[in-house]
């Protein structure tokens, strides 16, 4: 029997690290991996450019679903 474990995908794009999943709003992360208190207009401008990229996988640094 195998187990599939899923977590939010974490991406790094244009100097911003953030988590984003299909069922959650994107949110920027601090350098220590904790969520930032606020996500401002600058972050959402960068995120808009990110979602228009054709291949998100090249920016993914962790997360998603894995078979254990």
Q: How many CB atoms lie within 10 A of CB 9?
A: 20
Q: What pLDDT shows up at residue 21?
A: 84
Q: Which residue has the tokens 């997360």?
A: 63
pTM: 0.85
Q: Shortest CA distance to 35 belongs to which of 58, 61, 16, 56?
A: 16
Q: What pLDDT shows up at residue 2?
A: 85
- pLDDT tens across the length of the chain (68 residues): 789 988 889 999 999 999 998 778 999 999 999 999 999 999 999 999 999 999 999 999 998 888 88
Query: Any bridge partners for residue 7, and if so which?
Result: 64
Q: Give all strands of the β-sheet with 60-67 in edge-to-edge order.
A: 24-28, 16-21, 4-13, 60-67
């Amino acid at each position: 029997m195998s187990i599939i474990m899923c977590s939010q995908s974490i991406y790094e794009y244009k100097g911003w690290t953030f988590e984003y999943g299909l069922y959650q709003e994107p949110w920027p992360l601090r350098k220590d991996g904790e969520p930032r208190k606020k996500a401002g207009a600058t972050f959402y401008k960068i995120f808009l450019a990110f979602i228009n990229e054709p291949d998100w996988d090249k920016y993914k640094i962790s997360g998603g679903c894995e078979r254990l």
